[in-house]
Chains A and B, each alone.
Chain A
Amino acid sequence: AQSVTQLGSHVSVSEGALVLLRCNYSSSVPPYLFWYVQYPNQGLQLLLKYTSAATLVKGINGFEAEFKKSETSFHLTKPSAHMSDAAEYFCAVGYSNYQLIWGAGTKLIIKP
């Protein structure tokens, strides 16, 4: 069965430091890839998506992600963390139908 793995249920970084949240998927078939963010007491919202155009995708709030087919990865990065980035981040993968496969989520903690 296809799966999505997010390494680390919690990631802690200092304010101003690089943010790196990892996402790997199980299939070699190029999928559609999404990152969603869930702020406390809010619904999930789309951060960015990859749909077979440029492999480096830019999203909202300074986040970006790079699709690496050879590594089956779609890691999320941001050069400098802000306190407002504290949230839970979900990676999701879609193939040929509407049933997205979701990672377990990574809670990003920002230390002042």
Chain B
Amino acid sequence: GAGVSQSPSNKVTEKGKDVELRCDPISGHTALYWYRQSLGQGLEFLIYFQGNSAPDKSGLPSDRFSAERTGGSVSTLTIQRTQQEDSAVYLCASSLEDWTSGGPQNTGELFFGEGSRLTVL
């Protein structure tokens, strides 16, 4: 498809297990974001990839969280030793924008996947 694809759509795991969430962005989009959406909260920034630059990992909540993006395309968010507070919807978004000029050159639009709902029992 032409949109951002995330898998799995739903994941139920036991506390202490590791999980991997996958994001396949729109082809050609250089920017990729991971956000966490908890009930009643806004989107919490986790990590940002832009082309071949070093990712901005400033939003990762703990060292149990990591992410990689292979070949500038598919990204995987890994949560080790999951805790109940990790339960949330994890959203991936991609974009053509790089904001290096201090603002969006085009629409600034982010294209979101449908999210991966993680439940930690």
Binding site for B on A (CB under 8 A): 4, 9, 32, 34, 36, 41-46, 49, 51, 90, 92, 94, 96-100, 102-105
Contacts and interface: CB of A to CB of B under 8 A. Distances in A.
B42 A102 contact: yes
Contacts, number: 69
A61 B18 CA distance: 41
Most buried by B among A42, A97, A98, A104: A98
Given A36-B112, A42-B114, A51-B108, 19 more contacts: A32-B108, A43-B4, A43-B91, A43-B113, A43-B115, A45-B112, A46-B109, A90-B43, A94-B103, A94-B108, A96-B99, A96-B103, A97-B102, A98-B31, A98-B48, A98-B56, A103-B42, A104-B40, A104-B42
Interface residues of B, number: 29
B97 interface: yes
B70 interface: no
B98 interface: yes
B26 to A, nearest CB: 12
Contacts of A49: 107-109
A1 B40 CA distance: 20
B40 A94 contact: no
B2 to A, nearest CB: 13
B12 to A, nearest CB: 17
